[in-house]
Chain A
Protein backbone atom coordinates (compact mmCIF):
# COMPACT_ATOMS: atom_id res chain seq x y z
CA UNK A 1 0.00 0.00 0.00
CA UNK A 2 1.25 3.47 -0.87
CA UNK A 3 2.66 5.56 1.94
CA UNK A 4 1.03 8.89 2.74
CA UNK A 5 2.89 12.20 2.97
CA UNK A 6 1.34 15.49 3.98
CA UNK A 7 2.56 18.78 2.48
CA UNK A 8 1.71 21.95 4.45
CA UNK A 9 2.32 25.25 2.62
CA UNK A 10 0.28 28.43 2.06
CA UNK A 11 1.48 28.60 -1.55
CA UNK A 12 -0.79 26.56 -3.83
CA UNK A 13 1.85 26.43 -6.56
CA UNK A 14 4.43 25.06 -4.10
CA UNK A 15 2.00 22.37 -2.81
CA UNK A 16 1.36 21.46 -6.40
CA UNK A 17 5.06 21.14 -7.31
CA UNK A 18 5.71 19.01 -4.19
CA UNK A 19 2.58 16.98 -4.94
CA UNK A 20 3.69 16.21 -8.51
CA UNK A 21 7.16 15.18 -7.28
CA UNK A 22 5.78 12.85 -4.58
CA UNK A 23 2.96 11.31 -6.63
CA UNK A 24 5.39 10.57 -9.46
CA UNK A 25 7.38 8.50 -6.92
CA UNK A 26 4.26 6.60 -5.88
CA UNK A 27 3.29 8.34 -2.64
CA UNK A 28 -0.21 9.40 -1.65
CA UNK A 29 -0.34 13.11 -0.85
CA UNK A 30 -2.42 15.08 1.66
CA UNK A 31 -2.39 18.90 1.53
CA UNK A 32 -2.75 21.57 4.23
CA UNK A 33 -2.73 25.32 3.52
CA UNK A 34 -1.30 26.29 6.94
CA UNK A 35 -0.62 24.80 10.40
CA UNK A 36 -4.23 25.11 11.58
CA UNK A 37 -5.59 23.61 8.35
CA UNK A 38 -3.11 20.71 8.62
CA UNK A 39 -4.20 19.92 12.22
CA UNK A 40 -7.84 20.02 11.08
CA UNK A 41 -7.15 17.53 8.28
CA UNK A 42 -5.05 15.16 10.39
CA UNK A 43 -7.81 13.17 12.04
CA UNK A 44 -5.91 10.17 13.31
CA UNK A 45 -5.08 8.44 9.99
CA UNK A 46 -1.57 7.14 9.43
CA UNK A 47 0.77 9.71 7.85
CA UNK A 48 4.33 8.47 7.15
CA UNK A 49 5.98 11.90 6.88
CA UNK A 50 5.02 15.58 7.00
CA UNK A 51 6.67 18.31 4.91
CA UNK A 52 5.92 21.80 6.21
CA UNK A 53 6.69 25.41 5.33
CA UNK A 54 7.74 27.73 8.22
CA UNK A 55 6.21 31.16 7.54
CA UNK A 56 2.45 30.70 7.11
CA UNK A 57 -0.70 32.57 8.20
CA UNK A 58 -2.94 31.29 11.06
CA UNK A 59 -0.38 28.83 12.41
CA UNK A 60 3.30 28.80 11.40
CA UNK A 61 5.37 25.67 10.78
CA UNK A 62 7.30 25.72 14.08
CA UNK A 63 4.03 25.95 16.07
CA UNK A 64 2.63 23.09 13.97
CA UNK A 65 5.61 20.89 14.90
CA UNK A 66 5.09 21.73 18.60
CA UNK A 67 1.37 20.88 18.35
CA UNK A 68 2.05 17.61 16.52
CA UNK A 69 4.51 16.53 19.22
CA UNK A 70 1.63 16.76 21.73
CA UNK A 71 -0.58 14.38 19.71
CA UNK A 72 -0.02 10.63 20.36
CA UNK A 73 -0.91 9.71 16.75
CA UNK A 74 1.70 12.07 15.25
CA UNK A 75 4.26 12.33 18.03
CA UNK A 76 6.76 10.18 16.12
CA UNK A 77 5.87 11.26 12.57
CA UNK A 78 9.05 12.68 10.98
CA UNK A 79 8.71 16.33 9.90
CA UNK A 80 10.81 18.03 7.23
CA UNK A 81 10.77 21.84 7.19
CA UNK A 82 10.75 23.04 3.54
CA UNK A 83 11.18 26.81 3.61
CA UNK A 84 12.80 29.94 2.18
CA UNK A 85 13.70 30.88 5.77
CA UNK A 86 17.50 30.79 5.95
CA UNK A 87 18.15 32.43 9.35
CA UNK A 88 20.13 30.13 11.71
CA UNK A 89 17.97 31.21 14.65
CA UNK A 90 14.80 29.88 12.98
CA UNK A 91 16.59 26.66 12.03
CA UNK A 92 17.57 26.16 15.70
CA UNK A 93 13.92 26.77 16.69
CA UNK A 94 12.84 24.08 14.25
CA UNK A 95 15.38 21.64 15.63
CA UNK A 96 14.34 22.41 19.23
CA UNK A 97 10.66 21.88 18.34
CA UNK A 98 11.49 18.41 17.00
CA UNK A 99 11.77 18.69 13.20
CA UNK A 100 13.99 16.06 11.53
CA UNK A 101 15.41 18.13 8.66
CA UNK A 102 15.58 21.68 7.28
CA UNK A 103 15.48 22.05 3.51
CA UNK A 104 15.66 25.36 1.64
CA UNK A 105 13.47 26.39 -1.30
CA UNK A 106 13.78 26.30 -4.23
CA UNK A 107 14.12 22.54 -3.91
CA UNK A 108 15.20 20.00 -6.46
CA UNK A 109 12.58 17.20 -6.76
CA UNK A 110 15.11 14.29 -6.80
CA UNK A 111 16.78 15.80 -3.71
CA UNK A 112 13.41 16.07 -1.94
CA UNK A 113 12.68 12.42 -2.79
CA UNK A 114 16.07 11.39 -1.38
CA UNK A 115 15.26 13.18 1.92
CA UNK A 116 11.79 11.61 1.99
CA UNK A 117 13.16 8.09 1.39
CA UNK A 118 15.71 8.56 4.16
CA UNK A 119 13.18 9.70 6.78
CA UNK A 120 9.82 8.16 5.84
CA UNK A 121 8.37 5.73 8.39
CA UNK A 122 8.24 2.04 7.40
Chain B
Protein backbone atom coordinates (compact mmCIF):
# COMPACT_ATOMS: atom_id res chain seq x y z
CA UNK B 1 0.00 0.00 0.00
CA UNK B 2 2.77 2.44 0.92
CA UNK B 3 4.80 1.49 -2.15
CA UNK B 4 1.75 2.05 -4.35
CA UNK B 5 0.99 5.32 -2.68
CA UNK B 6 4.55 6.52 -3.34
CA UNK B 7 3.90 6.07 -7.08
CA UNK B 8 1.05 8.56 -6.89
CA UNK B 9 2.33 12.07 -7.40
CA UNK B 10 1.87 14.38 -4.41
CA UNK B 11 -0.93 16.93 -4.61
CA UNK B 12 1.26 19.93 -5.42
CA UNK B 13 2.72 18.19 -8.48
CA UNK B 14 -0.71 17.33 -9.80
CA UNK B 15 -2.22 20.77 -9.40
CA UNK B 16 0.70 22.66 -10.92
CA UNK B 17 1.24 20.24 -13.81
CA UNK B 18 -0.81 22.25 -16.35
CA UNK B 19 1.24 25.34 -15.56
CA UNK B 20 4.39 23.48 -16.54
CA UNK B 21 2.86 22.22 -19.76
CA UNK B 22 0.78 25.09 -21.03
CA UNK B 23 0.48 28.82 -20.69
CA UNK B 24 -1.19 30.26 -17.58
CA UNK B 25 -4.21 31.31 -19.65
CA UNK B 26 -4.80 27.73 -20.69
CA UNK B 27 -4.50 26.75 -17.02
CA UNK B 28 -7.27 29.21 -16.21
CA UNK B 29 -9.27 27.76 -19.04
CA UNK B 30 -8.84 24.29 -17.54
CA UNK B 31 -9.38 25.29 -13.95
CA UNK B 32 -13.01 24.28 -14.05
CA UNK B 33 -12.22 20.68 -14.89
CA UNK B 34 -9.28 20.37 -12.50
CA UNK B 35 -10.85 21.80 -9.41
CA UNK B 36 -13.26 18.94 -8.90
CA UNK B 37 -11.46 15.91 -10.30
CA UNK B 38 -8.05 16.74 -8.77
CA UNK B 39 -9.54 17.48 -5.37
CA UNK B 40 -11.01 14.02 -5.47
CA UNK B 41 -7.77 12.45 -6.65
CA UNK B 42 -5.67 14.33 -4.09
CA UNK B 43 -7.97 13.48 -1.21
CA UNK B 44 -7.82 9.82 -2.03
CA UNK B 45 -4.04 9.94 -2.56
CA UNK B 46 -3.59 11.46 0.89
CA UNK B 47 -5.65 8.69 2.40
CA UNK B 48 -3.75 6.01 0.53
CA UNK B 49 -0.36 7.23 1.79
CA UNK B 50 0.23 7.01 5.54
CA UNK B 51 -2.99 5.36 6.91
CA UNK B 52 -3.06 1.62 6.28
CA UNK B 53 -6.30 0.92 8.16
CA UNK B 54 -8.01 4.14 7.23
CA UNK B 55 -9.71 2.99 4.02
CA UNK B 56 -11.72 0.45 5.97
CA UNK B 57 -13.01 3.13 8.31
CA UNK B 58 -13.37 6.17 6.05
CA UNK B 59 -14.49 4.49 2.83
CA UNK B 60 -18.16 5.45 3.34
CA UNK B 61 -17.06 9.04 4.01
CA UNK B 62 -15.04 9.11 0.75
CA UNK B 63 -18.05 7.87 -1.16
CA UNK B 64 -20.16 10.61 0.45
CA UNK B 65 -17.59 13.31 -0.44
CA UNK B 66 -17.24 11.81 -3.90
CA UNK B 67 -21.00 11.98 -4.45
CA UNK B 68 -21.17 15.61 -3.22
CA UNK B 69 -18.21 16.66 -5.41
CA UNK B 70 -19.62 14.73 -8.30
CA UNK B 71 -22.91 16.62 -8.03
CA UNK B 72 -21.23 20.04 -7.94
CA UNK B 73 -18.99 18.99 -10.82
CA UNK B 74 -22.01 17.92 -12.83
CA UNK B 75 -23.60 21.35 -12.30
CA UNK B 76 -20.40 23.10 -13.42
CA UNK B 77 -19.90 20.73 -16.33
CA UNK B 78 -23.41 21.38 -17.52
CA UNK B 79 -22.81 25.12 -17.40
CA UNK B 80 -19.40 24.82 -19.11
CA UNK B 81 -20.74 22.49 -21.75
CA UNK B 82 -23.48 25.03 -22.46
CA UNK B 83 -20.77 27.70 -22.89
CA UNK B 84 -18.76 25.40 -25.22
CA UNK B 85 -21.87 24.56 -27.22
CA UNK B 86 -22.76 28.27 -27.51
CA UNK B 87 -19.22 29.05 -28.69
CA UNK B 88 -19.22 26.25 -31.26
CA UNK B 89 -22.66 27.39 -32.45
CA UNK B 90 -21.43 30.99 -32.79
CA UNK B 91 -18.37 29.87 -34.78
CA UNK B 92 -20.77 27.81 -36.90
CA UNK B 93 -23.00 30.81 -37.49
CA UNK B 94 -20.03 32.99 -38.42
CA UNK B 95 -18.83 30.40 -40.93
CA UNK B 96 -22.21 29.38 -42.31
CA UNK B 97 -24.26 32.57 -42.16
CA UNK B 98 -22.09 35.70 -42.22
CA UNK B 99 -19.15 34.83 -44.50
CA UNK B 100 -21.37 33.51 -47.35
CA UNK B 101 -23.32 36.80 -47.29
CA UNK B 102 -20.11 38.86 -47.53
CA UNK B 103 -18.79 36.57 -50.25
CA UNK B 104 -22.10 36.74 -52.15
CA UNK B 105 -22.05 40.56 -52.08
CA UNK B 106 -18.46 40.69 -53.29
CA UNK B 107 -19.16 38.09 -55.96
CA UNK B 108 -22.30 39.94 -57.04
CA UNK B 109 -20.37 43.22 -57.24
CA UNK B 110 -17.67 41.53 -59.28
CA UNK B 111 -20.36 40.18 -61.58
CA UNK B 112 -21.93 43.64 -61.96
CA UNK B 113 -18.53 45.17 -62.71
CA UNK B 114 -17.77 42.47 -65.22
CA UNK B 115 -21.06 42.82 -67.10
CA UNK B 116 -20.84 46.62 -67.00
CA UNK B 117 -17.30 46.56 -68.36
CA UNK B 118 -18.36 44.07 -71.07
CA UNK B 119 -21.39 46.22 -71.98
CA UNK B 120 -19.32 49.40 -71.99
CA UNK B 121 -16.69 47.76 -74.17
CA UNK B 122 -19.44 46.80 -76.60
CA UNK B 123 -21.00 50.29 -76.53
CA UNK B 124 -17.67 52.00 -77.00
CA UNK B 125 -16.82 49.64 -79.85
CA UNK B 126 -20.24 50.42 -81.38
CA UNK B 127 -19.62 54.15 -81.17
CA UNK B 128 -16.15 53.80 -82.65
CA UNK B 129 -17.52 51.59 -85.49
CA UNK B 130 -20.25 54.06 -86.38
CA UNK B 131 -17.79 56.92 -86.38
CA UNK B 132 -15.44 54.87 -88.51
CA UNK B 133 -18.20 54.04 -91.04
CA UNK B 134 -19.30 57.65 -91.12
CA UNK B 135 -15.75 58.75 -91.64
CA UNK B 136 -15.34 56.38 -94.63
CA UNK B 137 -18.77 57.16 -96.13
CA UNK B 138 -18.62 60.91 -95.85
CA UNK B 139 -15.07 61.29 -97.10
CA UNK B 140 -14.90 64.62 -95.34
CA UNK B 141 -14.42 63.47 -91.77
CA UNK B 142 -11.58 65.84 -91.19
CA UNK B 143 -13.87 68.75 -91.94
CA UNK B 144 -15.69 68.07 -88.71
CA UNK B 145 -12.65 66.85 -86.75
CA UNK B 146 -13.84 63.25 -86.87
CA UNK B 147 -10.49 61.60 -87.51
CA UNK B 148 -8.76 63.20 -84.57
CA UNK B 149 -11.80 62.63 -82.32
CA UNK B 150 -11.73 59.00 -83.35
CA UNK B 151 -8.05 58.44 -82.53
CA UNK B 152 -8.18 60.37 -79.27
CA UNK B 153 -11.38 58.72 -78.02
CA UNK B 154 -10.12 55.22 -78.69
CA UNK B 155 -7.13 55.81 -76.38
CA UNK B 156 -9.22 57.39 -73.65
CA UNK B 157 -11.85 54.65 -73.67
CA UNK B 158 -9.08 52.06 -73.49
CA UNK B 159 -7.69 53.77 -70.38
CA UNK B 160 -11.16 53.80 -68.77
CA UNK B 161 -11.61 50.09 -69.34
CA UNK B 162 -8.13 49.38 -67.94
CA UNK B 163 -8.89 51.23 -64.75
CA UNK B 164 -12.24 49.46 -64.39
CA UNK B 165 -10.50 46.11 -64.81
CA UNK B 166 -7.99 47.14 -62.14
CA UNK B 167 -10.83 47.81 -59.70
CA UNK B 168 -12.25 44.41 -60.55
CA UNK B 169 -8.95 42.65 -59.79
CA UNK B 170 -8.73 44.18 -56.31
CA UNK B 171 -12.33 43.12 -55.71
CA UNK B 172 -11.33 39.54 -56.54
CA UNK B 173 -8.39 39.75 -54.11
CA UNK B 174 -10.77 40.87 -51.38
CA UNK B 175 -13.03 37.93 -52.08
CA UNK B 176 -10.19 35.44 -51.62
CA UNK B 177 -9.34 37.08 -48.26
CA UNK B 178 -12.92 36.55 -47.11
CA UNK B 179 -12.76 32.95 -48.34
CA UNK B 180 -9.64 32.34 -46.23
CA UNK B 181 -11.59 33.54 -43.19
CA UNK B 182 -13.96 30.58 -43.56
CA UNK B 183 -10.92 28.29 -43.29
CA UNK B 184 -9.94 29.87 -39.95
CA UNK B 185 -13.46 29.56 -38.66
CA UNK B 186 -13.49 25.86 -39.61
CA UNK B 187 -10.22 25.33 -37.68
CA UNK B 188 -11.67 27.08 -34.67
CA UNK B 189 -14.73 24.86 -34.78
CA UNK B 190 -12.50 21.77 -34.99
CA UNK B 191 -10.56 22.87 -31.92
CA UNK B 192 -13.68 23.71 -29.97
CA UNK B 193 -14.94 20.22 -30.78
CA UNK B 194 -11.60 18.75 -29.53
CA UNK B 195 -11.90 20.61 -26.25
CA UNK B 196 -15.47 19.45 -25.80
CA UNK B 197 -14.37 15.88 -26.54
CA UNK B 198 -11.52 16.04 -24.04
CA UNK B 199 -13.81 17.54 -21.45
CA UNK B 200 -16.16 14.63 -21.90
CA UNK B 201 -13.34 12.08 -21.53
CA UNK B 202 -12.03 13.86 -18.44
CA UNK B 203 -15.50 13.68 -17.04
CA UNK B 204 -15.73 9.91 -17.63
CA UNK B 205 -12.31 9.38 -16.02
CA UNK B 206 -13.31 11.44 -13.03
CA UNK B 207 -16.40 9.27 -12.60
CA UNK B 208 -14.19 6.19 -12.78
CA UNK B 209 -11.87 7.75 -10.21
CA UNK B 210 -14.82 8.18 -7.89
CA UNK B 211 -15.73 4.53 -8.31
CA UNK B 212 -12.10 3.49 -7.74
CA UNK B 213 -12.01 5.64 -4.65
CA UNK B 214 -14.93 3.68 -3.24
CA UNK B 215 -12.82 0.54 -3.60
CA UNK B 216 -9.63 2.23 -2.54
CA UNK B 217 -8.53 -0.59 -0.32
CA UNK B 218 -7.95 -3.00 -3.18
CA UNK B 219 -7.63 -0.73 -6.22
CA UNK B 220 -4.76 1.62 -5.48
CA UNK B 221 -2.82 0.77 -8.63
CA UNK B 222 -5.75 1.20 -11.02
CA UNK B 223 -6.44 4.51 -9.39
CA UNK B 224 -2.87 5.71 -9.95
CA UNK B 225 -3.19 4.89 -13.68
CA UNK B 226 -6.44 6.86 -13.88
CA UNK B 227 -4.86 9.83 -12.15
CA UNK B 228 -2.06 9.77 -14.78
CA UNK B 229 -4.61 9.70 -17.59
CA UNK B 230 -6.48 12.65 -16.13
CA UNK B 231 -3.20 14.58 -16.02
CA UNK B 232 -2.38 13.77 -19.66
CA UNK B 233 -5.82 14.76 -20.85
CA UNK B 234 -5.71 17.98 -18.88
CA UNK B 235 -2.35 18.85 -20.42
CA UNK B 236 -3.75 18.04 -23.87
CA UNK B 237 -6.87 20.14 -23.45
CA UNK B 238 -4.68 22.88 -21.99
CA UNK B 239 -2.63 22.96 -25.19
CA UNK B 240 -5.79 22.94 -27.31
CA UNK B 241 -7.24 25.75 -25.23
CA UNK B 242 -4.09 27.77 -25.90
CA UNK B 243 -4.31 27.02 -29.61
CA UNK B 244 -7.90 28.22 -29.61
CA UNK B 245 -6.96 31.41 -27.84
CA UNK B 246 -4.12 31.91 -30.37
CA UNK B 247 -6.47 31.19 -33.26
CA UNK B 248 -8.81 33.94 -32.16
CA UNK B 249 -5.78 36.24 -32.47
CA UNK B 250 -4.99 34.86 -35.95
CA UNK B 251 -8.59 35.45 -37.03
CA UNK B 252 -8.33 39.00 -35.78
CA UNK B 253 -5.23 39.38 -37.97
CA UNK B 254 -7.01 37.82 -40.97
CA UNK B 255 -9.87 40.28 -40.51
CA UNK B 256 -7.33 43.11 -40.43
CA UNK B 257 -5.91 41.88 -43.76
CA UNK B 258 -9.42 41.53 -45.24
CA UNK B 259 -10.21 45.03 -44.02
CA UNK B 260 -7.05 46.38 -45.64
CA UNK B 261 -7.96 44.57 -48.86
CA UNK B 262 -11.38 46.21 -48.64
CA UNK B 263 -9.75 49.60 -48.17
CA UNK B 264 -7.41 49.04 -51.13
CA UNK B 265 -10.43 47.95 -53.18
CA UNK B 266 -12.28 51.10 -52.16
CA UNK B 267 -9.28 53.28 -53.01
CA UNK B 268 -8.93 51.66 -56.42
CA UNK B 269 -12.63 52.12 -57.04
CA UNK B 270 -12.33 55.79 -56.14
CA UNK B 271 -9.24 56.10 -58.35
CA UNK B 272 -11.07 54.32 -61.14
CA UNK B 273 -14.05 56.67 -60.73
CA UNK B 274 -11.70 59.68 -60.83
CA UNK B 275 -9.83 58.35 -63.84
CA UNK B 276 -12.99 57.62 -65.77
CA UNK B 277 -14.59 60.90 -64.73
CA UNK B 278 -12.38 63.12 -66.87
CA UNK B 279 -11.92 60.62 -69.67
CA UNK B 280 -15.57 59.74 -70.14
CA UNK B 281 -16.74 63.33 -69.92
CA UNK B 282 -14.12 64.27 -72.50
CA UNK B 283 -15.01 61.44 -74.86
CA UNK B 284 -18.78 61.79 -74.62
CA UNK B 285 -18.72 65.54 -75.01
CA UNK B 286 -16.37 65.23 -77.96
CA UNK B 287 -18.79 62.75 -79.51
CA UNK B 288 -21.61 65.17 -78.90
CA UNK B 289 -19.66 67.93 -80.59
CA UNK B 290 -18.96 65.62 -83.49
CA UNK B 291 -22.55 64.43 -83.81
CA UNK B 292 -23.84 68.00 -83.70
CA UNK B 293 -21.50 68.83 -86.56
CA UNK B 294 -22.70 65.71 -88.37
CA UNK B 295 -26.33 66.74 -88.02
CA UNK B 296 -25.51 69.84 -89.98
CA UNK B 297 -24.24 67.52 -92.72
CA UNK B 298 -26.18 65.10 -94.92
CA UNK B 299 -29.28 63.00 -94.09
CA UNK B 300 -27.19 59.77 -93.97
CA UNK B 301 -24.88 61.31 -91.44
CA UNK B 302 -27.91 62.42 -89.43
CA UNK B 303 -28.99 58.79 -89.12
CA UNK B 304 -25.53 57.72 -87.98
CA UNK B 305 -25.62 60.55 -85.50
CA UNK B 306 -28.94 59.31 -84.08
CA UNK B 307 -27.45 55.83 -83.73
CA UNK B 308 -24.47 57.22 -81.87
CA UNK B 309 -26.77 59.16 -79.53
CA UNK B 310 -28.54 55.88 -78.64
CA UNK B 311 -25.19 54.23 -77.93
CA UNK B 312 -24.18 57.16 -75.72
CA UNK B 313 -27.44 56.93 -73.75
CA UNK B 314 -26.83 53.22 -73.19
CA UNK B 315 -23.26 53.94 -72.09
CA UNK B 316 -24.59 56.50 -69.60
CA UNK B 317 -26.89 53.85 -68.10
CA UNK B 318 -24.06 51.32 -67.86
CA UNK B 319 -21.70 53.82 -66.25
CA UNK B 320 -23.99 54.00 -63.20
CA UNK B 321 -22.76 50.57 -62.09
CA UNK B 322 -19.90 52.34 -60.31
CA UNK B 323 -22.35 54.01 -57.96
CA UNK B 324 -24.20 50.77 -57.21
CA UNK B 325 -21.09 48.65 -56.68
CA UNK B 326 -19.48 51.28 -54.50
CA UNK B 327 -22.59 51.48 -52.27
CA UNK B 328 -22.73 47.73 -51.85
CA UNK B 329 -19.01 47.45 -51.07
CA UNK B 330 -19.31 50.27 -48.52
CA UNK B 331 -22.04 48.35 -46.68
CA UNK B 332 -19.97 45.12 -46.66
CA UNK B 333 -16.82 47.00 -45.61
CA UNK B 334 -18.53 48.60 -42.63
CA UNK B 335 -19.81 45.17 -41.60
CA UNK B 336 -16.36 43.54 -41.89
CA UNK B 337 -14.92 46.36 -39.80
CA UNK B 338 -17.32 45.46 -36.96
CA UNK B 339 -16.03 41.87 -36.60
CA UNK B 340 -12.75 42.65 -34.79
CA UNK B 341 -14.78 44.47 -32.08
CA UNK B 342 -16.95 41.40 -31.55
CA UNK B 343 -13.91 39.07 -31.50
CA UNK B 344 -12.12 41.33 -29.02
CA UNK B 345 -15.18 41.31 -26.79
CA UNK B 346 -15.32 37.50 -26.90
CA UNK B 347 -11.57 37.35 -26.10
CA UNK B 348 -12.00 39.81 -23.21
CA UNK B 349 -14.77 37.69 -21.71
CA UNK B 350 -12.66 34.53 -22.19
CA UNK B 351 -9.68 36.15 -20.42
CA UNK B 352 -11.89 37.34 -17.57
CA UNK B 353 -13.87 34.18 -16.89
CA UNK B 354 -12.04 31.33 -18.62
CA UNK B 355 -15.32 30.39 -20.28
CA UNK B 356 -15.63 30.51 -24.06
CA UNK B 357 -17.84 33.49 -24.97
CA UNK B 358 -19.87 33.18 -28.19
CA UNK B 359 -19.26 35.70 -31.00
CA UNK B 360 -22.65 37.14 -31.83
CA UNK B 361 -22.82 36.64 -35.61
CA UNK B 362 -26.49 37.59 -35.70
CA UNK B 363 -25.60 41.13 -34.63
CA UNK B 364 -23.37 41.38 -37.73
CA UNK B 365 -26.02 40.00 -40.07
CA UNK B 366 -28.72 42.28 -38.65
CA UNK B 367 -26.48 45.35 -38.95
CA UNK B 368 -25.61 44.45 -42.55
CA UNK B 369 -29.24 43.88 -43.48
CA UNK B 370 -30.22 47.18 -41.87
CA UNK B 371 -27.72 49.05 -44.05
CA UNK B 372 -29.13 47.89 -47.40
CA UNK B 373 -30.68 50.39 -49.80
CA UNK B 374 -30.96 48.44 -53.06
CA UNK B 375 -33.46 45.73 -53.92
CA UNK B 376 -30.71 43.53 -55.38
CA UNK B 377 -28.70 43.79 -52.14
CA UNK B 378 -31.67 42.41 -50.23
CA UNK B 379 -32.08 39.69 -52.87
CA UNK B 380 -28.40 38.68 -52.55
CA UNK B 381 -28.76 38.51 -48.77
CA UNK B 382 -31.90 36.38 -48.95
CA UNK B 383 -30.38 34.08 -51.58
CA UNK B 384 -27.07 33.52 -49.80
CA UNK B 385 -28.90 32.98 -46.50
CA UNK B 386 -30.83 30.18 -48.21
CA UNK B 387 -27.53 28.99 -49.79
CA UNK B 388 -28.51 29.49 -53.40
CA UNK B 389 -26.47 31.05 -56.19
CA UNK B 390 -26.31 34.86 -56.06
CA UNK B 391 -29.17 36.55 -57.88
CA UNK B 392 -28.47 38.22 -61.19
CA UNK B 393 -28.00 41.96 -60.71
CA UNK B 394 -31.13 44.05 -61.17
CA UNK B 395 -30.22 45.97 -64.29
CA UNK B 396 -33.72 46.63 -65.54
CA UNK B 397 -34.82 50.24 -65.44
CA UNK B 398 -37.41 51.01 -62.81
CA UNK B 399 -40.55 53.10 -62.93
CA UNK B 400 -40.84 56.64 -61.63
CA UNK B 401 -43.30 57.44 -58.82
CA UNK B 402 -44.84 60.91 -58.87
CA UNK B 403 -46.19 62.19 -55.54
Contacts and interface: CB of A to CB of B under 8 A. Distances in A.
Judge: A and B partners, yes or no: yes
B313 A110 contact: yes
Contacts of B403: 94-95, 99-102
B317 A109 contact: yes
A115 interface: yes
Most B CB contacts (10 A, CB to CB) among A84, A85, A94 go to A84
B305 to A, nearest CB: 13
A16 B281 contact: yes
B274 interface: yes
Interface in B114-140: none
Size category of the binding interface on chain B:
20 to 34
A9 B326 CA distance: 13
Contacts of A21: 316
B323 A105 contact: yes
Interface string A16-27: 110011001000
B401 interface: yes
A11 to B, nearest CB: 4
Interface string A88-106: 0001001100011111111
B398 interface: yes
Contact of A86 (B316, B374, B395, B402): B374
B5 interface: no
Contact of A108 (B277, B317, B374): B317
Nearest to B395: A106
A5 to B, nearest CB: 16
A83 B373 contact: yes
Interface residues of A, number: 35
A111 interface: yes
B317 A14 contact: no
Interface string B52-77: 00000000000000000000000000
Contacts of A20: 281, 284-285, 316
Nearest to A97: B403
A96 to B, nearest CB: 9
Interface in A1-47: 9, 11-14, 16-17, 20-21, 24
B119 to A, nearest CB: 11
A62 interface: no
A84 B374 CA distance: 5
B398 A17 contact: no
Most B CB contacts (10 A, CB to CB) among A54, A86, A118 go to A86
A17 B327 contact: no
Most B CB contacts (10 A, CB to CB) among A17, A86, A106 go to A106
Contacts of A103: 398, 400-401
B281 A107 contact: no
B288 A100 contact: no
B398 A13 contact: no
A55 B371 CA distance: 10
A14 B49 CA distance: 85
A112 to B, nearest CB: 9
A17 B316 contact: yes
Nearest to A102: B401
A118 B400 CA distance: 12
Contacts of A16: 277, 280-281
B320 interface: yes
B317 A11 contact: no
B319 interface: yes
A55 to B, nearest CB: 5
A54 B395 contact: no
A106 B323 CA distance: 9
B8 to A, nearest CB: 69
Contact of A14 (B284, B320, B373): B320
16 contacts: A9-B323, A11-B322, A11-B326, A12-B273, A13-B320, A16-B280, A17-B320, A55-B327, A55-B373, A84-B323, A85-B374, A86-B398, A101-B402, A102-B401, A103-B398, A108-B397
Interface of B: 273-274, 276-277, 280-281, 284-285, 288, 313, 316-317, 319-324, 326-327, 373-375, 395, 397-403
